[in-house]
Chain A
């Protein structure tokens, strides 16, 4: 059974394949190997990356992802890059960061999704080493994408809700 990982970033969607799960071991072992890119990079490889086409496109994606909704872009990305899934017979599963998005993907595409502590640990490693996995994407570029996207995401939040009650944590 192959495992894929979906990693949503500010610059685009990434799909990773877990090539040597046995070498990584369980949750605790992954926690350790994440520090060592030599070891971690051997067990995980980039399968596909789809950069967002514009700032507006990125905003549309993050708004959907944070509400656990599957956009057409995400659906296309997954169906193009994952092996065809026959209902109930898929030979792989997709690790996702959040369970609700997982079930939405499963419903839309038939791809069996999984969200657990192990996937969470793997995604920590991907987050840490994202610049090593994707050629031409420096940490600095990612930071810039995050800055731009955070501003548009946050600006929309404060603007959109002017007439609503303030969100307070009590």
Chain B
């Protein structure tokens, strides 16, 4: 990133995410594997007071729905340092690498991808990041990877497979973050109607939506829905 010594990194409202302020502001995450770019993204290193350097990687909202949701002002993504995340539809792992940065060494990301072509990149990326657990398997059949995944705090999915996976792996009161692409589900209906219908389907599976943001201008007709699974009643005292 240009600007060199002038770049200042500040914490974002969301724990584990940062903003680099230089000539232009950018969303960044703290690199778990310093010295390495995953998909050619820019890196910026900032010297700490003790002379120690911390490296950050620029998180492109045009390439990651999660980054787009953060910039779109989502209230809470629940993906934070120390969290255990099940990430369905991990593709080559570009977004997953940033989730790996966010949850840090105390957290982990169980990344599921079925396509062997992108799965190969995912496996290679995971070699350098011990908090990424790559699973090349069909996310529509969670029982196939039941030996590899514990109970998790958050499920992230970009497809309609969140319910079944939540049943196996998402703890009571755990969170889900899903992105819905209206045209993928029904290209004839208006996007708002598609989103509303999908939200209703979630409710039927004990997935209670809490908030919804659209990803303009980064994605067209795309929404991210965040919610809670099997919400726990507060104990009456």
Give Cα A33–Cα B149 distance, bound, in whole angstroms: 21
Q: Which of B127, B167, B172, B173 has the most CB of A within 10 A?
A: B172
| CB pair B119 A157 closer than 8 Å | yes
Cβ contacts A to B, 20 pairs, < 8 Å: A8-B146, A31-B230, A62-B147, A66-B137, A66-B143, A98-B146, A120-B168, A124-B151, A127-B150, A142-B150, A151-B133, A154-B123, A154-B137, A158-B119, A161-B116, A162-B116, A166-B116, A167-B116, A167-B138, A169-B138
Excluding A146-B133, A151-B126, A167-B114, 13 further A-B contacts by CB distance (< 8 Å) are A61-B147, A62-B148, A65-B147, A66-B137, A66-B147, A98-B146, A124-B151, A146-B149, A147-B108, A147-B133, A150-B110, A162-B116, A167-B138
Of the four ranges (under 10, 10 to 19, 20 to 34, 35 or more), the interface on chain A belongs to: 35 or more
Pairwise interchain contact B117-A153, C-beta atoms closer than 8 A: no
The answer to whether B130 and A147 have CB atoms under 8 Å apart is yes
Q: When A and B form their complex, which 5 residue pairs have the shortest distance between CB atoms, in order from nearest?
A: A157-B136, A154-B136, A66-B144, A98-B143, A128-B151
Describe B's contact surface by its main secondary structure: mixed
> When chains A and B are docked, how far (Å) is the Cα of A9 from the Cα of B146?
8
Are A149 and B172 in touch, CB under 8 angstroms? Answer: no
Residue numbers in A under 8 Å from B146 (CB-CB): 8, 97-98
Annotate A139-153 by CB proximity to B: 1 below 8 A, 0 otherwise. 100110011011101
In angstroms, Cα B126 to Cα A155, docked, is: 11
In the complex, the number of residue pairs spanning A and B with C-beta atoms less than 8 Å apart equals: 97
**A15 contacts the other chain (CB 8 A):** no
B148→A158 contact, CB < 8 A: no
Q: How many angstroms from the CA of A107 to the CA of B134 in the assembled complex?
A: 33
Q: Are the C-beta atoms of A127 and B169 separated by less than 8 Å?
A: yes
Choose from A34, A98, A143, A153 the contact partner of B150 (Cβ within 8 Å).
A143
CB-CB under 8 A from A61, the residues of chain B are 147
Q: Kindly supply a per-residue 1/0 record for chain B positions 170-200, scoring 1 wherever the CB is within 8 Å of any chain A CB and 0 otherwise.
A: 0111000000000000000000000000000
Cross-chain contact of A143 among B108, B120, B135, B145 (Cβ < 8 A): B108
Q: Which residue of A lies closest to B123 (CB)?
A: A154
Q: Which of A10, A120, A139 is the one whose CB lies under 8 Å from B147? A: A10
Can you name the residue of chain B whose Cβ is closest to the Cβ of A120? B167
Is A130 interfacial (CB-CB < 8 Å)?
Answer: yes
Among A8, A120, A142, A158, the residue within 8 A (CB) of B136 is A158
- A residues in contact with B149, CB < 8 Å: 146
* B115 contacts chain A at the CB level, 8 A cutoff: yes
B117 — which chain A residues lie within 8 A by C-beta? Answer: 166
Q: Which of A66, A98, A166, A169 contacts B159 (CB 8 A)?
A: A169
| Residues of A close to B48: CB separation below 8 A | none
Residue of B nearest to A146 (CB): B148
Interface status of B232 (Cβ within 8 A of chain A): yes
Q: Is B159 a contact of A157 with CB atoms below 8 Å?
A: no
Q: Are B134 and A166 within 8 A (Cβ)?
A: no
Q: Which residues of A contact B123 (CB under 8 A)?
A: 151, 154-155, 158
A166 touches B115 (CB 8 A): yes
A2 beta carbon closer than 8 Å to chain B: no
The answer, yes or no, to whether A56 is at the interface (CB within 8 Å) is no
Provide the residues of chain B in CB contact with A150, threshold 8 Å.
110, 133-135, 148
Check A124–B168 contact: CB distance below 8 A. Answer: yes
Task: Check B116–A157 contact: CB distance below 8 A.
Answer: yes
Chain B residue with the shortest CB-CB distance to A155 = B123
- A81 interface residue, CB < 8 Å from B? no
With a cutoff of 8 Å between Cβ atoms, the chain B residues found around residue A154 in the complex are 119, 122-123, 134-137
